[in-house]
C-alpha cells in the first residue's frame, strides 16, 4: 500500500528489466537483514527522542502556534522577508515556490527569501520605500544562531527596518526561529524582545522544513500548512504498517546497491514539474550533507528539470558513463488544463500537437525519456504524485527524509551531522577576524 499522495515505481531499476546495470532481486534480498537493522536503529532514534523529524507532522501544538502567529502577522503586514541559509532556507523556499499562488487574498503576504550576502541582491530590498518597510515583517532562521551569512544579512536588514519604523517599533516586525537558550540570535531576540518560534529540538536544519523553519513563511503566504503535514503523515502512517517494505526503504535499498555494487555514484532528481525545481535543490542539500561522509562515501546529488534538461543533460545521461541513477517525479494531473489550438492540425510536422494538452505532453516526454534510458540499460525510477498539492509536497519531503536516513544507515554514516560544513564555517570566521 502506497501513500495516496506518493508512489514509487522502481521497474526500471531492476536487472530483469534493464540488464546488468540494474539491481538483481537476489542482491536486494540479501540486503533485507541490513534494512531491518537500519529500521531498528532508526526506531530507537525516534522513540528515544534523539531524532525528532519523524514526528514533526504530528506536532499539533507547534502547528497551532504557527497558524495563530501567522494570522496576526497577516493582519499587520503585507510583505515578509525570510533570512536563512542551507536547511534554514531551502525548505521554506520550496514550499513557497511550489504552493504559493497569485490568486490569494489580500491578507496573504508576499514573501522574499534572502540567503547569500550578495550586496546586489540585498540592495533591491534595501531600496524599497520606507512605506513598504512599515508593512514588512522579517523571519530570521538559524538553528545555531551564529551563521555568518544569515547574521550579516539580518543585521543589514534590521538596520534598514529601524530607519523606516524607529527603534521602538522595530521589534514587532521581527520573528526569530533559533535554538532556545543558545547562540547570538537567541541573545539578540531576548534582549530586544523579538518573537521566538523555537527551532525544534533534536531536528537538524535540513530535516526541519516541517517545523516553523518552513511552515511559518508558508502560513503567512496563505498556504494551508495542515494539508502539508497531512501529506507527511501519510508517509509516516504507511511506513508504520509496512516497515522495510515501504517505498522509502525500497528506494534507499536500491540506491545503496546502485552505488555500492554498480558504481552508480551520481543520483539525479528530475521532476517534470516546474514548481518542483526548488525541491531538487532541497534534495541536493539533504543528500549531500547527510550522506557525504568519512572522506570516501557519498553519492553526488544532481538537480535536473524535465523537459528542459532533455535539451541539456539527457545526452550525458543516455550516452555518457554508466554512473547515474535518475529519479523522475511526475504528476498525474495538472492544476491548469491548457490545450494546443487545432489551427495547424494538417501541418506535416506539427499537426500531431493539435488539441493536445500541455500536461499530457510533459507526461509523454517523461515516459518516453524513462523508457529510452531503460532500453539502454540505464537505471531510473519514477515518483508519482496525483497532483502538485500541499499533501503531495508534504509526502515528498517526508519520503526523502526517510530514504536519506535509511541510506545513511546502510552506508554506516551519521545522517545528522555536517563536520565538513562546520570546518569551513570556522575557517571563514577566522579570516573575517572573529574573536575566539
Ligand atoms: O542542514 C544543516 O544543518 C545546515 O545546512 C544548516 O541548515 C546551515 O548551515 C545553516 O545553519 P543555521 O541554521 O545554524 O544557520
Which residue among the candidates 103, 168, 311, 435 is catalytic per the annotation?
A: 311
SS3 104: coil
Nearest CA to ligand 1 atom 15: 142
Compute the distance from residue 292 Cα to the ligand 1 centre, in Å: 16
394 found inside a domain:
yes
Nearest CA to ligand 1 atom 7: 87
Same domain? For 39 and 74 the reply is: no
Q: What is the pLDDT of residue 428?
A: 84
Which residue among the candidates 59, 149, 236, 289 is catalytic per the annotation?
A: 289
- The residue with cell 551564529 is 146
403 found inside a domain:
yes
Same domain? For 206 and 251 the reply is: no
Beta-ladder partners of 136? 79
Strand 300-303 and strand 266-271: the pairing is parallel
Establish whether 242 is a catalytic residue.
no
Residues 199, 56: Cα–Cα separation, whole Å: 11
Q: What is the pLDDT of residue 1?
A: 64
Element (H, E) at 314: helix 314-319
Establish whether 425 is a catalytic residue.
yes
Q: What is the pLDDT of residue 419?
A: 86
434 found inside a domain:
no
Which atom of ligand 1 is nearest to 89's Cα?
Answer: 7
Same domain? For 95 and 170 the reply is: yes
Asked if the peptide bond before residue 416 counts as cis, ω within 30 degrees of 0, the response is: no
Same domain? For 233 and 379 the reply is: yes
Measured on CA atoms in the order 321, 327, 331, 336, is the torsion positive or negative?
A: negative
144 Cβ inside 6 Å of ligand 1: yes
And the C-alpha cell for 175?
520573528
Same domain? For 40 and 187 the reply is: no
Same domain? For 292 and 338 the reply is: yes
209 alpha carbon, distance to own chain's centre: 7
Q: What is the pLDDT of residue 104?
A: 55
143 found inside a domain:
yes
Measured on CA atoms in the order 175, 212, 93, 357, is the torsion positive or negative?
A: negative
CATH code of 336's domain: 3.40.50.10490
Same domain? For 209 and 281 the reply is: no
Q: How far is CA 303 from CA 56, 271, 276, in A?
A: 26, 9, 10
149 Cβ inside 6 Å of ligand 1: no
* pLDDT mean by block of 10 residues, the chain; 436 residues: 91 98 98 98 95 95 97 97 98 97 78 97 95 98 96 98 97 98 97 97 96 98 98 97 97 98 98 98 98 93 98 96 98 95 96 97 97 98 98 98 98 92 80 77
Same domain? For 410 and 269 the reply is: yes
CB atoms within 10 A of CB 261: 12
SS3 181: coil
Residues 302, 266: Cα–Cα separation, whole Å: 7
12 found inside a domain:
yes
Beta-ladder partners of 175? 139, 195
298 Cβ inside 6 Å of ligand 1: no
Compute the distance from residue 233 Cα to the ligand 1 centre, in Å: 24
The burial class, CB within 10 Å (0-12 / 13-18 / 19+), for 260 is middle
Residue 196 lies in domain: 54-223
CB atoms within 10 A of CB 349: 7
Strand 324-331 and strand 300-303: the pairing is unpaired
Compute the distance from residue 287 Cα to the ligand 1 centre, in Å: 14
Residues 427, 421: Cα–Cα separation, whole Å: 10
- Name the residue of 51, 53, 87 whose CB sits within 8 Å of the most ligand 1 atoms, as the mutation to test its pocket: 87
Degrees, nearest 5: CA angle 377-378-379: 115
Q: What would the DSSP string read from start to end of 405-430?
A: HHHHHHHT--TT--HHHHHHHHHHHH
Residues 117, 151: Cα–Cα separation, whole Å: 9
* Global confidence as pTM: 0.96
Q: What is the pLDDT of residue 436?
A: 63
Establish whether 60 is a catalytic residue.
no
Number of domains forming the structure of the chain: 2
427 found inside a domain:
no
Same domain? For 232 and 369 the reply is: yes
Q: What is the pLDDT of residue 50?
A: 92
Beta-ladder partners of 83? 114, 140
Same domain? For 232 and 296 the reply is: yes
Same domain? For 211 and 234 the reply is: no
Here the contacts of 233-236 (C-beta below 8 Å, separation 24 or greater) are 233/57, 233/58, 233/394, 234/3, 234/4, 234/5, 234/6, 234/391, 234/394, 234/395, 235/3, 235/6, 235/395, 235/398, 235/399, 235/402, 236/54, 236/57, 236/58, 236/398
CB distance 255 to 27 below 8 Å: no
Domain final position from 198, 223, 248 = 223
Q: Helical H runs in 148-246?
A: 148-165, 167-170, 184-192, 212-220, 225-242
Compute the distance from residue 145 Cα to the ligand 1 centre, in Å: 9
Domain final position from 190, 223, 256 = 223
The half-sphere exposure of 19 on its side-chain side, counting CA atoms within 13 A, is 7
429 found inside a domain:
no
Residues 282, 284: Cα–Cα separation, whole Å: 5
Compute the distance from residue 213 Cα to the ligand 1 centre, in Å: 11
311 found inside a domain:
yes
Same domain? For 77 and 206 the reply is: yes
86 Cβ inside 6 Å of ligand 1: yes
Beta-ladder partners of 195? 175
214 Cβ inside 6 Å of ligand 1: no
Amino acid at each position: 500500500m502506497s501513500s495516496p499522495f506518493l508512489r514509487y515505481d522502481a521497474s526500471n531499476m531492476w536487472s530483469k528489466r534493464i540488464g546488468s546495470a540494474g539491481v538483481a532481486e537476489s542482491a536486494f534480498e540479501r540486503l533485507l537483514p541490513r534494512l531491518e537493522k537500519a529500521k531498528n536503529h532508526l526506531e530507537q532514534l525516534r522513540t528515544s527522542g534523539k531524532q525528532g523529524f519523524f514526528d514533526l507532522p504530528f506536532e499539533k501544538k507547534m502547528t497551532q502556534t504557527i497558524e495563530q502567529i501567522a494570522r496576526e502577522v497577516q493582519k499587520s503586514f503585507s510583505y515578509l522577508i525570510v533570512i536563512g541559509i542551507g536547511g534554514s532556507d531551502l525548505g521554506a523556499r520550496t514550499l513557497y515556490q511550489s504552493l504559493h499562488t497569485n490568486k490569494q487574498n489580500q491578507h496573504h503576504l508576499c514573501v522574499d527569501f534572502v540567503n547569500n550576502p550578495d550586496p546586489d541582491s540585498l540592495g533591491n530590498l534595501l531600496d524599497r520605500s520606507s512605506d513598504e518597510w512599515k508593512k514588512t515583517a522579517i523571519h530570521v532562521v538559524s538553528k545555531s544562531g551564529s551563521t555568518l551569512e544569515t547574521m550579516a544579512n539580518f543585521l543589514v536588514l534590521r538596520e534598514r527596518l529601524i530607519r523606516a519604523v524607529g527603534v521602538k517599533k522595530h521589534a514587532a516586525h521581527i520573528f526569530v526561529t533559533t535554538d532556545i537558550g543558545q547562540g547570538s540570535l537567541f541573545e539578540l531576540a531576548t534582549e530586544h524582545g523579538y518573537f521566538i518560534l523555537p527551532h525544534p529540538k533534536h531536528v537538524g536544519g535540513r530535516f526541519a522544513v516541517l517545523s516553523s523553519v518552513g511552515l511559518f513563511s508558508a502560513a503567512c503566504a496563505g498556504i494551508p500548512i495542515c494539508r502539508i503535514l497531512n501529506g507527511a503523515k501519510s508517509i509516516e502512517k504507511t511506513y508504520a504498517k509496512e516497515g522495510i517494505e515501504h517505498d522509502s526503504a525500497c528506494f534507499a535499498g536500491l540506491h545503496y546497491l546502485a552505488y555500492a555494487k554498480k558504481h552508480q555514484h551520481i543520483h539525479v532528481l528530475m521532476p517534470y514539474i516546474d514548481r518542483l525545481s526548488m525541491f531538487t535543490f532541497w534534495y541536493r542539500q539533504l543528500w549531500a550533507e547527510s550522506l557525504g561522509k568519512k572522506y570516501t562515501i557519498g553519492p553526488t546529488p544532481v538537480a535536473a528539470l524535465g523537459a528542459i534538461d532533455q535539451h541539456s543533460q539527457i545526452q550525458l545521461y543516455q550516452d555518457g558513463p554508466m554512473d547515474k541513477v535518475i529519479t523522475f517525479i511526475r504528476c498525474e494531473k495538472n492544476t491548469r488544463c491548457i490545450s494546443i489550438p487545432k489551427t495547424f492540425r494538417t501541418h506535416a510536422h506539427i499537426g500531431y500537437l493539435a488539441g493536445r494538452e500541455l500536461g499530457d505532453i510533459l507526461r509523454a516526454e517523461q515516459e518516453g525519456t524513462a523508457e529510452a534510458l531503460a532500453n539502454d540499460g540505464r537505471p531510473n525510477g519514477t515518483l508519482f504524485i496525483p497532483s502538485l498539492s500541499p499533501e503531495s509536497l508534504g509526502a515528498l519531503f517526508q519520503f526523502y527524509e526517510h530514504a536519506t536516513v535509511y541510506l545513511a544507515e546502510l552506508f554506516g554514516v551519521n545522517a545528522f551531522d555536517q563536520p565538513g560544513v562546520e570546518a569551513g564555517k570556522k575557517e571563514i570566521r577566522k579570516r573575517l577576524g572573529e574573536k575566539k
